[in-house]
């Protein structure tokens, strides 16, 4: 890793720790000044996990594992309990931390990005496109959110800024048509990846999930295997509501993975543990800010360390 990469990594971890400060107040300073493990300490830990939106089921699993270790006298004091908590949290997240793999045999590799308005979907697409381009891949973007004001201009701006082609039509155009044209253009250009934006909300008479299913059907006419990846962008600050979004979007379009954004400034970042407990979908990336480098692969150890960092350290 070069010096610039190391600086970028340190900067990201610093911002991640800062971004998780509100959640950390629930967890990171829990045991400061305490040494003995008693029922009050365990009850306070359980309450803190629930307040951080870890979820009832995930909290129960974590507490059961820790309680067993306390019962077997494997944890001598709250410092040992803190380290055991860290290990348990990392273990909970490991199954969902998997990278986004672009299959080079599928050209273009079509990524359909879905999510509700306000989750940071369009911005995430711009960041992902730049990330893949930096890895040496040729990328094409599809401005398929033709319903939200300024969404087309927003994605086009990202493309121009990073020299990535964008297929777009005017606001109000048929979204499926835009994505179809983009995939066809990607085939003609022999692009490695096509990333398609989609609407997060439509007018009352149009059902969003039906529109997304239509896009998926239309794309499959050009490539029976497409879209090869369907990513849901989740706003990490919505807490447990994220779980219902996962279920609803999966029913409509068949998700393959998740990207969790806006972890900076939320007290509900524990929802990642609830996702791990209830969902089979991998979390490929997390986002903590507006800069390109603020979209990073999800790494459980770094996330938990930032979440539990004791402010007195």
Q: Specify the number of domains making up the chain.
A: 2
Query: What is the C-alpha R_g of the chain?
Result: 21
Judgement on whether residues 138 and 282 belong to the same structural domain of the protein: yes
- Is 141 domain-assigned? yes
- Is 148 domain-assigned? yes
pLDDT of residue 1 exceeding 70: no
Q: For residue 313, give both structure tokens.
A: 């350290």
Judgement on whether residues 187 and 272 belong to the same structural domain of the protein: yes
Judgement on whether residues 89 and 114 belong to the same structural domain of the protein: no
Judgement on whether residues 144 and 245 belong to the same structural domain of the protein: yes
Range of the domain at 80: 3-96
Q: What band does 21 get if pLDDT is binned at 50, 70 and 90?
A: confident
pLDDT digits (tens, 9 = 90+) for 138-154: 999 999 999 887 899 99
- Is 225 domain-assigned? yes
- Is 147 domain-assigned? yes
CB 173 within 8 A of CB 227: no
Among 96, 118, 140, the domain boundary falls at 96
Vertex 198 angle, CA 182 and 187, to 5°: 15
Among 67, 96, 125, the domain boundary falls at 96
Question: The domain that contains 144 carries what CATH number?
Answer: 3.40.50.300
Task: Say what the alpha-carbon torsion angle 64, 69, 73, 76 is, to the nearest 10 degrees.
Answer: -110
The answer, yes or no, to whether the previous bond of 108 is cis (omega within 30 of 0) is yes
Judgement on whether residues 127 and 261 belong to the same structural domain of the protein: yes
Share of the chain above pLDDT 90, in %: 60
Among 35, 66, 96, the domain boundary falls at 96
> Rounded to two decimals, what is the model's pTM?
0.90
Residue 223: other Cβ atoms inside 10 A: 19
* CA-closest candidate to residue 298, choices 22, 11, 28, 12: 12
Question: The domain that contains 18 carries what CATH number?
Answer: 1.20.120.140
Judgement on whether residues 134 and 29 belong to the same structural domain of the protein: no
**What's the rounded Cα separation, in Å, for the pair 158 and 129?**
9
Judgement on whether residues 274 and 202 belong to the same structural domain of the protein: yes
pLDDT of 76 reads 87
Judgement on whether residues 126 and 73 belong to the same structural domain of the protein: no
């Amino acid at each position: 890793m070069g010096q610039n990469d190391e600086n970028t990594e340190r900067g990201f971890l610093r911002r991640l720790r800062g971004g998780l400060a509100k959640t950390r107040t629930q967890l990171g300073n829990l045991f400061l000044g305490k040494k003995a493990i008693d029922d009050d300490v365990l009850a306070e830990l359980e309450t803190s996990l629930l307040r951080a939106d870890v979820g009832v089921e995930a909290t129960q699993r974590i507490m059961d594992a820790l309680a067993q270790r306390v019962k077997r006298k494997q944890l001598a004091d709250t410092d040992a309990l803190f380290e055991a908590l860290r290990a348990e949290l990392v273990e909970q997240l490991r199954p969902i931390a998997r990278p986004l793999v672009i299959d080079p045999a599928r050209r273009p590799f079509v990524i359909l990005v879905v999510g509700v308005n306000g989750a940071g979907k369009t911005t995430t697409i711009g960041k992902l496109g730049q990330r893949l381009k930096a890895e040496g891949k040729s990328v094409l973007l599809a401005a398929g959110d033709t319903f939200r004001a300024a969404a087309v201009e927003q994605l086009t701006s990202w493309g121009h800024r990073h020299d990535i082609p964008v297929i777009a039509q005017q606001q109000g155009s048929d979204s499926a048509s835009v994505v179809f044209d983009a995939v066809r253009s990607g085939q003609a250009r022999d692009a490695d990846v096509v990333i398609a934006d989609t609407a997060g909300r439509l007018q009352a008479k149009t059902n969003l999930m039906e529109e997304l299913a239509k896009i998926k059907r239309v794309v499959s006419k050009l490539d029976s295997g497409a879209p090869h990846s369907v990513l849901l962008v989740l706003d990490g600050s919505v807490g447990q509501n994220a779980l219902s979004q996962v279920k609803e979007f999966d029913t409509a379009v068949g998700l393959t993975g998740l990207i969790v954004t806006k972890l900076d400034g939320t007290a509900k970042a524990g929802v990642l543990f609830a996702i791990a407990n209830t969902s089979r979908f991998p979390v490929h990336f997390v986002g903590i800010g507006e800069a390109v480098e603020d979209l990073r692969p999800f790494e459980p150890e770094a996330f938990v360390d930032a979440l539990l960092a004791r402010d007195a350290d």
